Structure 1
Amino acid sequence: MASSLPISPVTAAVPSKSNLPLRNIPGDYGLPLIGALKDRLDYFWLQGEEKFYQSRIEKYQSTVFRVNMPPGPTIAKDSRVICVLDQKSFPILFDVEKCEKKDIFTGTYMPDLSFTSGYRVCPYLDPSEDRHTKLKQWCFDVLAKNGRNFLPEFHKAIDESMVLWEKDIAGGKRGDVSGEVKQFAFNFLFRAICHHDPAAPGPGSLGRDGGPGASLWALPQLAPIAGQTGLPHVVEELAFHTVSLPSILVKGKYDAIHNFVKTYATEALDMAEASGIERNDAIANLVFFLGFNAYGGFNILFPEVVAFIQSAGKDLMHELHEEVKGAVTDGTVTLQALENMPLLKSVVYEVFRFKPPVPYQYARAKTDFIIENHENSFQIKKNELLYGFQPIVMHDPKVFDNPDEFVPRRFMGPEGQKLIKYVFWSNGPETEKSTVHNKQCAGKDLVVTMARAFVAEMFLRYKDYTLEIEGAGNAAKLFFTALTKA
């Protein structure tokens, strides 16, 4: 989701030759089926995600190694990947000359096309495909056309949720952060693009089911690679990681959102047809773009933001409140006001560094080539699948001091600004631009802007807050127990 369109492709600087010693890639895939199943059990249950990677980095003394990635048997035909988990090797995943991104948006498996009306939507397309160029350019055009709508619609949507939080707390209850994020994130996006309130009564109304419905539709598409649902381990393994869930389970939710987009996003859909995109293709892509990519990302990101800020303490909250109050002169959060909040900007980038909303990236080698980590070089063969887990990459101690510590001011000042290029969350470096020639998120700039707007809106209204977190992983729920109004 970005607005500027440089036409040159982004190509990572990966050498074809290297002065570093050439090392065989350590690790193995084990016996057929058994090796993949063992790695999957390690990943979800016996070790957990972070330890899964760290234990292998320590075992092989390498940030580049071979391993099986979930879901493995029997959903994925081939679970074998080469992990690249440092700042030097990881950028190969963005090199469109050496790697392709066809059908690997969700990694080693791909959900059935029945989830998206039979269309391969843009995230599953490679930049070399003509449909990718048309669809991504259309995304840019839609964002540019509606750019002025996002901040006002966001203010309106989050204000509605803030009123509910305050009412619940005043009544002795807790303010449901996780639940209300589903409301305001969904509502502001669809209001901005479709020019109609999805919660308003009338034809195609989604009521308060828009966000939760989008989450349910996304669940079976992501379930094979998403652990920690809160269900018993055996149930989760059998229900989510062993077989593909059919789209019929969530067809009603998808059809409702599809109907809303078809009914009200006429301007965007007319633009698509004028660009040579079939209207039904455009509807499927816009549903995915708004209800999966953008909404799904915000639904993950916004709760992480409030949680990390609380972890840093009330002093940071008060500093953010003072910065926001000083930058917002007329009570309205604007782009100019956001540019005058350097602490807030740094805090948001630090959250992206710790918990990027999309932690996984994949790419398949188009040819043979050499990659490097900090110590060695490695031979990659054509058709091998490479994988990077971005939170590990963005904790590379060769780049970040105290990488495991949340440092709110990390990206402030001249030296801090230099570190922004090492922030990866959007399928590319933060300092690069999304174009039709790469796979960087079309809404990259919008996501960062709205994350900053979220913090600004919070601290324009509140001096501080107290948050409770129940559960862990994907099953975690967040609640406000106190909100101190400004």
Structure 2
Amino acid sequence: MGNQVGTARLLGWGNQTLKPNREEDFVEKNIGFPCRVVTGNKAVQSVFDIELFKKEEFCFGVAEVRRDFTEGICPSVSSNGKIHEKNKGFLMEVIAKAGEGIPSSTASSVLSNISKWGSTAMSDFESKLLAVAADTVLPNIFGESSSFNAEDIRLYIIGATEVRSCIVKALTSKNLDEERQAMRSIIGKIKTSERYQQLMDLGHAYGLGEAETTAQLLLPVFFNGVAGIRANLVSSFARLDTISAEDREELREEALAALKKHGGLTRESLEEMPKMESFVLEVLRACPSPMFWSTIATRPTTVEYTTDSGEHALKIKEGERVYASSYWALRDPAVFDKPEDFMWRRFLGPEGDARRKHHVIFHGRLTDTPAVNNHMCPGRDVSLSALKGSIAIFNTFFGWELQEPPVWTGTKMTRGSQPDYEVKIKSFWVQHPEDLKEIFPSHFRDIIDEADDVDDIDVLVKTKTGTYSGSGTNSNVYIRLFDDKGHQSRELQLDVWWKNDFEKGQEGQYKLKDVKVAAPIVKIELFRDGCQPDDDWYCESVSVQLNPDNSGPTYDFSVNRWIRQNDHVWLCPGGCEGPQDDVNPKDD
């Protein structure tokens, strides 16, 4: 029963089952089978020695690869010895050639997919990000004319692995006809791709036959590559919602400057986004995928390490299972200050560079280089480029509202690095159309081409200024409207000639002409300029009525916060972000 209880605990409590006391770094656990779980950062790095520890073939921790989903051939990620050297050498050359086109394909993939999304709610957003990851990676490997179906990839990912527990297998057993058909469809498209013969020739140069070469293009590319990037993209996108508007703007300004300088997403522009890189690395530290690696000791050895309780020397037996937890290694307080906090600047500057030797998400130190004689992920640089580029584009040009705030508890094993619950979009819109049009004009036309079709209408905006001392302002106040079709108005100044607007406790009415939006309004942007730097405005509420002369619909927005110099606030009907820095002065 011990193995079944161990499996149940791991599946029920995830990484929290392995939570260390930091007194020992090698702890005996049962996670479906007896093993030693390694949790300390430096101790985990000792498991990277391929002379002492080998991978468990066809295994990812408590999961194993279904062999018929790799045509019975062990994938590079879990192979060893000379076979591993051949498999990885082949993949490294494939990925090196593909990497050259990743920046441009990332931009094309993100923007082309967004052009199909619209701005309405997306309950299948994570599936849409799978299509983004696939369109980023696959054309660079198989050729631009090659087209893979995202649903086939999703089904293949579902079918490729299963839990190793016999009882869990029995309880979760299902017909996999759809998943196997999806795999056959993917293999068929691989074999008819424009670069198939080149890939076969390259595999032959590494001593791989046609079946072996195809197998290395299957699970490593579609499962580890495309699905892995998708999972980390979901986490990165969700993490943007956990940082402040000021921090997001700081990341946006850096990316926008680099994109403008180099005319788009290029290798050079990515190199000039150190803040975005630090953000992505912190996402990978806080939300690691994979969460642990499974190895077996190749011979008796003694591992020496140091913890808070002192120096240790642990004897490992030949054949003993040793599982390295990336989740807890990347939360080791000995190398990462405040490890439970998400600190996106953690990897900036000289100190941040020094921390990279402790960042082990790619099965090796970030300062190391993937090679055939180590197990470091050969797709590391491609993954980082795709993640940095995708998040830079999302954050620089677009805005969105999630259906619920993302949370990570470390207890949801099936969610891996992603938030505990599926990320779903309530609304999505172009936040900075002028910048998008300047840098990506062709994609801009595809994304908001419909904006020219909307009729000009009149809009009545009403504001209510608070009663706190100093609530009124003499600054210029502006509003921008967003509808659910992706249309957005120009900047609209709220001003009535010969009237002192926005006085304490007063309500204002502003009738605006020739506004290009349509019902329903899903978002507004409210801001003031810097003409009166210290003249802050406390706004209680805003209402927007379309076609007021014809009794059109009205949308109410609760504000209840100070709006300072160059402060931009985005609001949805019925609510807004909290007043993060209000001092809540008393009414006079």
Q: Which residue of 1 aligns with 2:401?
A: 466
> What is the rounded CA distance, in whole Å, between the counterparts of 1:384 and 1:362 in structure 2?
11
Please, which of 420, 425, 428 is the counterpart of residue 364 of structure 2? Answer: 428
> What is the rounded CA distance, in whole Å, between the counterparts of 1:110 and 1:418 in structure 2?
35
Give the superposition deviation at 1:330: 4.3
Q: Which residue of 2 aligns with 1:89?
A: 43
Q: Which residue of 2 aligns with 1:327?
A: 258
Tell me the percent identity: 20
Deviations 1:365-420 (A, max 9, x none): 11222222413322111111101221111111111111100001111111111001
Measured at CA, do residues 118 and 175 of structure 1 come closer, stay the same or move farther in structure 2, by a change above 3 Å? closer
The answer to whether 1:119 aligns with 2:119 is no
Give 2:24's aligned amino acid: S
Give 2:422's aligned amino acid: K
Please, which of 210, 215, 238 is the counterpart of residue 307 of structure 1? Answer: 238
Give 2:14's aligned amino acid: E
Q: Secondary structure at the match of 1:337?
A: helix
Give the superposition deviation at 1:175: 7.3
Does the 8 Å CA contact 2:262/2:269 hold for their aligned counterparts? no
Q: Which residue of 2 aligns with 1:68?
A: 30
Give 2:185's aligned amino acid: A
Please, which of 346, 351, 360 is the counterpart of residue 278 of structure 2? Answer: 346
Q: What does residue range 60-459 of structure 1 map to in structure 2 within 5 Å?
A: 61-69=23-31, 72=32, 79-103=33-57, 105-107=59-61, 110-126=64-80, 128=81, 130-165=82-117, 167=118, 169=119, 172-174=120-122, 176-199=124-147, 206=148, 210-224=149-163, 240=169, 248=177, 250-264=179-193, 265-266=195-196, 267-328=198-259, 329-371=261-303, 372-374=305-307, 375=310, 376-459=312-395
- Which moved further from structure 2: 452-461 or 413-422? 452-461
Aligned CA-pair RMSD: 2.5
Measured at CA, do residues 247 and 124 of structure 1 come closer, stay the same or move farther in structure 2, by a change above 3 Å? farther
Q: Which residue of 2 aligns with 1:231?
A: none
The answer to whether 1:36 aligns with 2:19 is no
Give the superposition deviation at 1:256: 0.3
Does the 8 Å CA contact 1:298/1:357 hold for their aligned counterparts? no
Give the superposition deviation at 1:176: 4.4
Give the superposition deviation at 1:299: 1.5
Does the 8 Å CA contact 1:187/1:198 hold for their aligned counterparts? no
- Which moved further from structure 2: 258-267 or 365-374? 365-374
Give the superposition deviation at 1:44: 2.1
Give the superposition deviation at 1:61: 4.4
Give 1:467's aligned amino acid: L
Give the superposition deviation at 1:276: 2.6
Give 2:327's aligned amino acid: P
Measured at CA, do residues 390 and 240 of structure 1 come closer, stay the same or move farther in structure 2, by a change above 3 Å? same
Give the superposition deviation at 1:139: 1.2
Give the superposition deviation at 1:240: 4.3
> What is the rounded CA distance, in whole Å, between the counterparts of 2:88 and 2:256 in structure 1?
37
Give 2:26's aligned amino acid: V
> What is the rounded CA distance, in whole Å, between the counterparts of 1:61 and 1:419 in structure 2?
22
Does the 8 Å CA contact 2:58/2:75 hold for their aligned counterparts? no
Extract unaligned runs of 5+ from structure 1: 1-33, 73-78, 200-205, 227-236
Give the superposition deviation at 1:65: 0.9
Does the 8 Å CA contact 1:466/1:483 hold for their aligned counterparts? no
> What is the rounded CA distance, in whole Å, between the counterparts of 1:41 and 1:141 in structure 2?
41
Deviations 1:210-261 (A, max 9, x none): 23322322223334179xxxxxxxxxx9664757767655210100000101
Does the 8 Å CA contact 1:469/1:477 hold for their aligned counterparts? no
Does the 8 Å CA contact 1:164/1:175 hold for their aligned counterparts? no
Please, which of 9, 13, 16 is the counterpart of residue 51 of structure 1? Answer: 16
Q: Which structure carries more helix by proportion?
A: 1
Q: Secondary structure at the match of 1:137?
A: helix
Aligned residues: 414
Give the superposition deviation at 1:275: 3.1
> What is the rounded CA distance, in whole Å, between the counterparts of 1:42 and 1:175 in structure 2?
30
TM-score (norm 1): 0.79
Give the superposition deviation at 1:143: 2.0
Measured at CA, do residues 53 and 448 of structure 1 come closer, stay the same or move farther in structure 2, by a change above 3 Å? same
Give 2:192's aligned amino acid: T
Give the superposition deviation at 1:297: 0.5
Give 2:359's aligned amino acid: V
Does the 8 Å CA contact 1:176/1:479 hold for their aligned counterparts? yes
Q: Which residue of 2 aligns with 1:11?
A: none
Give the superposition deviation at 1:295: 0.7
Give 1:466's aligned amino acid: E
Q: Secondary structure at the match of 1:440?
A: coil
> What is the rounded CA distance, in whole Å, between the counterparts of 1:354 and 1:120 in structure 2?
30
Give 1:435's aligned amino acid: A
> What is the rounded CA distance, in whole Å, between the counterparts of 1:312 and 1:298 in structure 2?
21
Give 1:278's aligned amino acid: G
Which one has a bigger Cα radius of gyration?
2
Give 1:367's aligned amino acid: R
Does the 8 Å CA contact 2:2/2:30 hold for their aligned counterparts? yes
Q: Secondary structure at the match of 1:89?
A: helix
Q: Secondary structure at the match of 1:387?
A: strand
Q: Secondary structure at the match of 2:424?
A: strand
Give 2:388's aligned amino acid: R
Deviations 1:90-149 (A, max 9, x none): 1122101111114164135633421111212212211x2x22222211112222233322
> What is the rounded CA distance, in whole Å, between the counterparts of 2:154 and 2:164 in structure 1?
15
> What is the rounded CA distance, in whole Å, between the counterparts of 2:175 and 2:301 in structure 1?
39
Structure with larger RCO (C-alpha < 8 A, sep 6+): 1
Q: Which residue of 1 aligns with 2:431?
A: 485
